[in-house]
A and B are shown apart, each in its own frame.
Chain A
Amino acid sequence: MELSDSELVKQCQAGEMSAFEELVSRYHQKVYMVSLGLLRNRDDAMEVAQEAFFRAYRKINSFQGGSSFYTWIYRIAVNICIDTQRRQRRNPLDFRESMDSVMEAQDEVAKDPFADVHDRELREKLTKAINELTPEHKAVIVLRTIEGMSYKDIGQILGCSEGTVMSRLHYARKKLQDKLRVFL
């Protein structure tokens, strides 16, 4: 029988490393997706995802279970992403946009050449438009898109109210829609 997240957390708090390994296996792809959505760079996203699990392991004893493990690990990852983005903004020379390579890799498996050109253009514009959003706006879009998370969960992760989540989502979607209107 599969153990719940909270049971695994308890085992982990008792020093059971295999329980933590199970938690990592459940969430590593999703945490990576969130990081990639926010940072738009594979290497940075991988670094953030691994660092998030490392920090979660170090603080697992302070995890009280007030929220679910997945909102907690996402919160850690999003905070690291936001810090990383702010650092990149302060040092623009360090900022690397390697989503081009992501798009190229996806184009390799595309079938229809006409749809291919249109989709590629759309993804290019999407990447550019997302990069122009603030970290907070990127975060709400990515968390809602990837996990279909409720506004309440997103609010818990970002430390803001549901109203703020709704407002940020509306603003971010409107921005993206305005910039991508001709491609949608």
Chain B
Amino acid sequence: MTNCEIIRESIGSWLDGELSPGESDSVRAHVAGCGACDEVRRQLEKLQMVLKDELAGEAARIEFMPFWREVQQRINQKRPWHQELRDWCRDFFTAPRIAWSVPAVIALVLALFSLDSYVPGWRFGGARNNFAAVDSIDAYGRSVALLRENESKTTVIWLYQDQEGENEAAEDATKSGPAF
């Protein structure tokens, strides 16, 4: 990785003011003397400016009173029971609770499949065959796959994310980023 490539990884964080003073000085000095990296800085600043202008122009049109009346109406309105139930479920199953449920489910499944090692005569689900199952864990594309090979008594539990997440992870992994 060339020096320019390393610096470019940090230009965004530098513009955001999220680098240490030492790192900032080093990026600033490089950008000041490197036309190509200075161009990357300019592009990032323009990108930020265009996006902000676009959204700020729109938000300025939103008047408070009509907005507040709509919010008040929602507050005063009695919601149907199924909507209340949905809200409750959403609150209950959102992170970080769901994050704890992932290792909990894995531990539970492992415990069930290991019972026959500790309890003589125990057979999980009767005469067991080879077993494979895939199930979605949450709304973020995470899934768990469970594979059980009976003869060798091998159980594999595989936690993974959807393709989109994998691509991102792969791309991130190819870069040696700035201290993260």
Interface residues of A (CB under 8 A from B): 21, 24-25, 28-30, 32-33, 36-37, 42, 46, 49-51, 53-55, 57-58, 79, 83, 86, 102-103, 106, 119, 122-123, 126, 130, 134, 137, 141-142, 144-146, 150-151, 159, 162-164, 166-167, 169-171, 173, 176-177, 180-181, 184
Contacts and interface: CB of A to CB of B under 8 A. Distances in A.
B62 A37 contact: no
B168 interface: yes
A71 B174 CA distance: 32
A165 B59 CA distance: 25
A55 to B, nearest CB: 8
A29 B68 CA distance: 11
B55 A36 contact: yes
A167 B172 contact: yes
B9 A53 contact: no
Contacts of A37: 51, 55
B68 A21 contact: yes
B47 A50 contact: no
Contacts of B40: 177
Contact of A24 (B47, B67, B139): B67
Contact of B71 (A53, A141, A142): A53
Contacts of A141: 51
A-side binding surface: helix, strand, loop or mixed? helix
A176 B42 CA distance: 14
A176 B40 CA distance: 12
Given A49-B67, A126-B51, A145-B52, A54 B75 contact: yes
Contacts of A106: 54, 57
B36 interface: no
Contacts of B47: 126, 173, 176-177, 180, 184
A117 to B, nearest CB: 15
